[in-house]
Amino acid sequence: MATGTEPQERTSQGAAVTLTELAAQKVRELLVKEGASPAEAALRLKVAGGGCSGYQYEMSFDAQQPTDQVFESYGVRVVVDPRSLLFVAGSQVDFVETMMGAGFKVENPNVTGSCGCGHSFKV
């Protein structure tokens, strides 16, 4: 449940990548299932070529690399490589539950179009 407070975030350049409070909660739950903690691992948000529209998101748990930008929301670190940051700066990751299923959704202000499946995008 959102509390109305703004997420904590930090970055050394550009617009932040944030998590909603619900997304951060789900990430923490998944980290516990994996046997890790938010202090040990971060959520990596990456953009890869592919999909109907040209690009798609990839998310995984990973260690921070020296060239990564690091953002923090609700106690969860998000790491993004410099190339991917060009595509996702200003994005917010949410966790949504619908009748069709549940999962993470990236709200990206840089997207100019997406395919019907909702898994790929173009900028």
- Cβ-in-10-Å burial (0-12, 13-18, 19+) of 41 comes to buried
Burial 97-116 (b: 16+ CB within 10 A, else e): eeeeeeebbbebeebeebee
Decide if pLDDT at 68 tops 80. yes
- Please name the fold of domain 18-122: Hypothetical Protein Aq_1857; Chain: A; (2.60.300)
pLDDT tens readout for residues 7-58: 444 444 457 999 999 999 999 999 999 888 777 899 999 999 877 767 888 9
Which tops the pLDDT comparison, 23 or 114? 23
- The C-alpha atoms of residue 123 and residue 117 are separated, in whole angstroms, by 17
| Percentage of residues of the chain with pLDDT beyond 70 | 78
Residue 5 makes CB contacts below 8 A (sequence gap 6+) with none
Rounded to two decimals, the pTM is: 0.79
